[in-house]
Amino acid sequence: MGLKTIGAAMTVAAIMLAGPAEAQTRVTLKAATAGSSYYLMTVQLAEALRTATNGQISATVEESQGSVQNVREAPRRPGAFTFTSPPSLVRDAMANRAPFQEGTGFDQIRALWTMPPVTMHWVVRADSGIQSFEDLVGKSFVAGGRGTFTERSTRELFRRLGIEGRVTAPEVELGAAIAAMRNRQIDGFASGSSHPAANLQELAVGTPIRLLALNDALLAGLQEADPTVARVVIPANTYQGVTTDTATIAIPVGMYGTTRMDDATAYELTRIFWTRRAEMARANPWWNAVAPEQITSLQIRLHPGAARYYAEAGIAIPDSLK
């Protein structure tokens, strides 16, 4: 995805994608931090919803600090509120497992469709002298957004390497990590995003970066800790200056709503997403990573409106999602 495309997407985000005054349905798309891949995805999706319905669906994109925040907010938000999250996190919330022990209403969450997977990026400045994870000892590194899959994976990795507590954790929020890298305030950060990540592509243009890769032993350890993760490879030259393949992990991501969304709206959102997916992929190839057959990865019951679309489209729905 080029800078021109990124700029256009951010312009669309800036005007909040407001539909015309006669729009009948208002939808909220809760995503991630501004500038991240998932934020840009929802900006593109919101525009697709608007154009597909001639403004009858007015979609607003909301910034988020991560999936934990998204899931926590879901039971409190009315109407057509949608959000992205790894399926495992939604399952944890529905079972009131950490970090959702105090929350209620998570049983109202319903699945809609799959999103491109979260790919872990462990990013360091190329001039930092860091060649491996062990080299992070004594360096300043942002482990990820608080409570996110990114942070949990990084902490688990550090624990298995025996370097937990030996890596400096700067007082920098993940949303400010890129600026901190440019200003040489930190040596690196962890980011969970679909690849190619637009903000990392932009960072690499002006600040040479290196991606830290997992070996087989580390991969096996992370999969033992979280069976939902899978090995993926970020191809060489995805980011300027990173000329070798990078082995890492990824987890599935879904788009979810709640039972407060009416069936007709859930149906229309799901239909538009899948019928416009190929068109969106021509602008941003990360959409090529999703297919209707992946709905089994969503792990919880489908919204009745979404289930109706899949049935009409001839897509088999497992009993566990009904």
Q: Which residues contact 282 (CB under 8 A, 6 or more apart)?
A: none
Q: Which runs of E-coded beta strand occur in 22-108?
A: 25-30, 57-62, 80-85
Q: What is the pLDDT of residue 8?
A: 41
How do the pLDDT tens digits run along the chain, 322 residues long?
A: 443 344 444 434 433 444 444 547 999 999 888 877 888 899 999 999 999 999 999 999 999 888 889 999 999 999 999 999 999 899 999 999 988 998 899 999 999 999 999 899 999 999 999 999 999 999 999 998 877 788 989 999 999 999 999 999 898 887 789 999 999 999 999 998 888 888 899 999 999 999 999 999 999 999 998 888 889 899 999 999 999 999 999 999 999 999 999 999 999 999 999 999 999 999 988 898 899 988 998 999 999 999 999 999 999 999 989 9
d(C-alpha 104, C-alpha 114), whole Å: 25
Task: Phi first, then psi: give them for residue 221, nearest 5 degrees.
Answer: -65, -40
Instruction: Indicate the residue among 225, 251, 277 that finishes a domain.
Output: 251
10 and 159 part of one domain: no
Q: Is 187 helix (H, G, I), strand (E, B) or coil?
A: coil
DSSP H helical segments within 118-236, as ranges? 149-161, 177-182, 198-206, 216-225
208 and 189 part of one domain: yes
157 and 231 part of one domain: yes
Q: Is 250 helix (H, G, I), strand (E, B) or coil?
A: strand
Of 184, 158, 159, residue with least CA distance to 172? 184
Q: What is the pLDDT of residue 4?
A: 38
152 and 109 part of one domain: no
DSSP H helical segments within 74-173, as ranges? 87-94, 149-161
| Location of structure tokens 């919803």 | 49
70 and 109 part of one domain: yes
Dump pLDDT digits (tens) for 251-274. Answer: 999 999 999 999 999 999 999 999
14 and 82 part of one domain: yes
Does residue 120 contact residue 194 with C-beta atoms inside 8 Å? no
42 and 126 part of one domain: no
146 and 54 part of one domain: no
Instruction: Indicate the residue among 223, 251, 279 that finishes a domain.
Output: 251
- Domain total for the chain? 2
DSSP class of 34: T
Q: What is the CATH number of the domain that holds 84?
A: 3.40.190.10
37 and 99 part of one domain: yes
Instruction: Indicate the residue among 203, 222, 251 that finishes a domain.
Output: 251
Q: What is the pLDDT of residue 5?
A: 42
Range of the domain at 198: 119-251
Does residue 143 contact residue 151 with C-beta atoms inside 8 Å? yes
Query: How many Å separate Cα 7 from the centre of its chain?
Result: 20
Q: Structure pTM?
A: 0.76
